[in-house]
Amino acid sequence: MDYGAYLDLDRLLDAQHPVSEPVHPDELLFIVQHQTTELWFKLVLHELRSVRRYLDADDVSRARKALARVKHIFKTLAEQWSVLATLTPSEYAEFRGFLGASSGFQSHQYRAVEFILGNKNARMLEVFEAKPAARAELQDLLDTPTVYDAFLRLLARRGHDVPAAVLERDVREAWVEVPALNPTFQRIYGDTTAYWEEYATCEDLVDLEDAFQFWRFRHLRTVQRTIGFKTGTGGSSGVGFLRRALDLTFFPELYSVRTGIGD
């Protein structure tokens, strides 16, 4: 065993295959940017599954550690956009046509991250019909509780008032804000000494969402800088699609509760 063998570097470093003809010197940047993002997504999913498992086991400390790791991963991913932003519109235009219908919209790991955080959409499975393994992973995450579901169930076990409708909800559906949860979070934020672990975990979830949203924002700005308002590859609406994504939120009650704090 040596460094290269342990990391399987021969296969990893041979996985970049530019398709432009003649090969454009900046296509390698484009490939590496997206491959490293997928590697980070793989780790994000690993950690979020761990968070869910730790919360189910009432192991809040380990859940918080994993949440912190995911937050830092998204900070790293956000910073990566600054590297891709060095690709000018003229440079990208020289090889963009060779990408065909390929698009980040087709990243099943990105969809998996959204599913486990609460933004579920069963119709997305249709995009991956030709890829059984990817579809199976999304099916599993569609059918099982989200990280937020696991957290709310932990709160219920600790005696907090979580409506039965929330605990028994159809986890295949995307999370929609539940105003009836607001008093529960007001209680937690109103007495952080008594409910320190619950309060700190709420803030960890907010940290994660902020980091995720900042990554989304940097994505939007990089795309706008590189292709303006053109249609995205694969037929997506490009900047418009990314801007709408910024309106999505995973943990709406953790933001709504802030309105009444201090009143």
The per-residue pLDDT for range 97-127, each reduced to its tens digit, is 999 888 777 999 999 999 999 999 999 999 9
Single-letter code of the amino acid located at 149: D
Helix (H), strand (E) at residue 80:
helix 60-84
Q: Residues forming the annotated binding site? A: 30-34, 92, 96, 219, 233
Q: Is residue 8 domain-resident?
A: no
Contact present, 84 and 29 (Cβ < 8 Å): yes
Q: What is the CATH number of the domain that holds 208?
A: 1.20.58.480
Does the pLDDT at position 185 exceed 70? yes
With vertex at residue 227, the alpha carbon angle to CA 225 and CA 233, rounded to the nearest 5 degrees, is 135
Q: Residues forming the annotated binding site for substrate? A: 30-34, 92, 96, 233
The per-residue pLDDT for range 62-100, each reduced to its tens digit, is 999 999 999 999 999 999 999 999 999 999 999 999 998
> Average pLDDT in the 184-206 region?
97
Contact present, 122 and 172 (Cβ < 8 Å): yes
Domain of residue 130: give its range. Answer: 18-259
Q: Which pLDDT score is estimated for 211?
A: 96
Q: Is residue 3 domain-resident?
A: no
Query: CB-side exposure of 121: number of CA atoms within 13 Å?
Result: 12
Number of domains in the chain: 1
> Rounded distance, CA 232 to CA 240, Å?
9
In the chain, pLDDT over 90 holds for what percent of residues?
Answer: 83
Looking at the whole model, is its pTM more than 0.95? no
Please report which confidence band the pLDDT of residue 262 belongs to, taking 50, 70 and 90 as the band edges: confident
Q: Is residue 11 domain-resident?
A: no
Does the pLDDT at position 145 exceed 60? yes
Q: Is residue 209 domain-resident?
A: yes
Least confidently predicted of 147-151, 208-212, 224-228:
224-228
> Rounded distance, CA 199 to CA 187, Å?
10
Q: Residues forming the annotated binding site for heme? A: 219
The per-residue pLDDT for range 14-68, each reduced to its tens digit, is 999 999 999 999 999 999 999 999 999 999 999 999 999 999 999 999 999 999 9
Q: Is residue 10 domain-resident?
A: no
